[in-house]
Amino acid sequence: MTLILLNALEKKVQGELLFRAAHLKAGAGERVGIIGRNGSGKSTLAKIIAGEDTAYTGNLVVQGDLQYVPQIAISDNSLSGGQVEIAALRTAIAKNPAILVLDEPTANLDEGHQNWLCKCLLKYHGLLLVISHDRNLLTQIASCIWEIKDKCCSEFRGSYENYVVKSEKNYQQQTNLYRYQIKKQKEIAAAVQRKKQKAASVRKGKKMGRFERKDTKNLRETTAARMEKNAHKMLKQSQRANNVEKPQAQFEVKVLMASLPAFKGKTVVDADRMMLTHNKEKLLEQTSFKVKPGEKIALTGPNGSGKSTLLNAIFNHEKNIFVSKDAKIGIFKQNLITLPLQENIADFVRRKTVLDIQFVRRFMGALGLPEKYWDKKIGSLSGGELCKLQLVIVLTSEKNFLLLDEPTNFLDVVALHALEEFLMRYPGTLIFVSHDKSFCSHIATRTLSIYKHHLVDFAKEEVDPVPKTDLPLLRLEYDRALLDPKVNISQLRTMSQKIKSLEKN
């Protein structure tokens, strides 16, 4: 039974189209994952479906009672974001509505509550619509994908994993078509040029004598004009046929050219029987651990267990925490934005970064700060955009030891991929807090988890920061398979799973 139907629905903001949905429908038992870049209109679509935004054109039919949990805005300082989120989710799920709409439900949840939410949503039998950048959540629950891209909301019938495989194959196919189109354009341009040169030669009658040129002037002019007309016609036909747009390439980092200060010793951080408290509450007791140069450590644990407090303790060199004198620490926290609001973005970035400026501009674009922001004042950015700029500055500076507290919370899937690409090739030392399981598995060479006031090290032996595997060869084979029409989605999925398994290990 269809519970939601959208026909020719358009949403405009200040007269400009935000997105259109030609025809979308969803029924009981379906679990729809809604994806798209930040600012594409996902939350607006949810508000329209929930009846909170009526400023649109077209038709919308919603049948059945609906519960909507928007992105949580924290206003009560006595509660964490996770606590507020959990309370709202429990209330909505307990009502067992016909339609449940959730906007970024895992953004503030720790791993335990993420698992709880997944189980609840898999047991839910109504129509579920979930806006999320959480790839793990989408992989587990989504039976259908709605994507807002290029101002159009389209549907993919199938799992998120199949959507990813299909998208990658479509990207490779479009890339090949675009390259073929460019090749043909060059061939036709060369042919047109030859025709024009031939016409010019005919018009001049270079190989004719003086009397022959005089007698054939009108004929030569007519022939040359016909040749030029044919050349012009060929060029126009070519331009009309050029309808393949250049696909937007994912941000990639082959080599990160960064000359960071080197560590002379074998230890970046050495904590010896340290105690950690916050507002007189004990978080860690008698804790010892070491961090070696080049390690990339995921710091995990329940909400409120002390992850952010531990990062602050390392940054401030608190009691019983030794930090190498060679360490130049860069710290990122969403609630710690220290940017000169009156300065021009371009000037500020050039002044702070030690990387190639063109690379930094591409990186900013992938994170959601494209070229149009380059000449703006920092103070004109939104809160989320300020976070992204702060992150860019921390990452591309001369810092050789990074402390990142939830750097993924405000990033869409494209930006997440860009951040992963950067950090996987970052040559320094890294400790980061994130509830994104996929992100942690791609980046971390070691995991430390806070559990019952103790720091648990799951790696009992040294981890090679750059493990040697067959991963590069398997990725190459996967890229080739994407271009092979004989390879089916099932085979591609198997190869993709092998790649993910190697990335985790």
Hey, do 2-158 and 269-465 end up sharing a CATH topology, with the first three levels equal? yes
SS (H, E, C) 107-121: CCCCHHHHHHHHHHH
Indicate the DSSP class of residue 158.
S
pLDDT tens digits along 241-271: 667 777 666 666 655 656 788 888 889 999 9
Predicted pLDDT at 461? 39
Summarize the confidence of residues 74-98 as an average pLDDT: 78
Query: Higher pLDDT residue, 435 or 51?
Result: 51
pLDDT tens digits along 158-180: 999 999 898 888 878 888 887 88
Q: Write out the H or E segment, with its range, that includes residue 189.
A: helix 160-204
Whether residue 355 contacts residue 392, with contact meaning beta carbons closer than 8 Å, is answered with: no
Residue 285 has pLDDT above 60, yes or no: yes
Strands, sheet with 296-300, edge to edge from the N-terminal-most edge strand = 329-333, 401-405, 429-433, 296-300, 446-451, 454-457
Predicted pLDDT at 73? 60
Cα 13 versus chain centre, distance: 24
**Most confident region among 71-75, 140-144, 405-409, 456-460 by mean pLDDT:** 140-144
Q: How confident is the model at residue 98 (pLDDT cuts 50, 70, 90)?
A: very high
Cα 9 versus chain centre, distance: 27
Domain 2-158 sits in CATH at 3.40.50.300
Query: Higher pLDDT residue, 233 or 441?
Result: 441
Task: Parse the chain into domains and list their residue ranges.
Answer: 2-158, 168-241, 269-465, 467-505
Residue 478 has pLDDT above 70, yes or no: no
pLDDT tens digits along 346-373: 999 999 998 889 999 999 998 989 888 9
Residue 344 has pLDDT above 60, yes or no: yes
Q: How confident is the model at residue 220 (pLDDT cuts 50, 70, 90)?
A: confident
Provide the residue type at 324 as one letter: S
Predicted pLDDT at 178? 79
Of 458, 406, 59, 134, nearest in space to 289 by CA: 458
CA angle 86, 89, 95 (to 5 degrees): 140
- CA–CA distances in Å: residue 215 to residues 9, 166, 285: 69, 66, 106
Per the rule left: phi > 0, alpha: psi between -120 and 50, beta: everything else, 213 is: alpha
Q: Is 104 exposed, middle or buried (0-12, 13-18, 19+ CB in 10 A)?
A: buried
CATH topology of domain 269-465: Rossmann fold (3.40.50)
Predicted pLDDT at 198? 80
Strands, sheet with 321-323, edge to edge from the N-terminal-most edge strand = 281-291, 269-278, 321-323
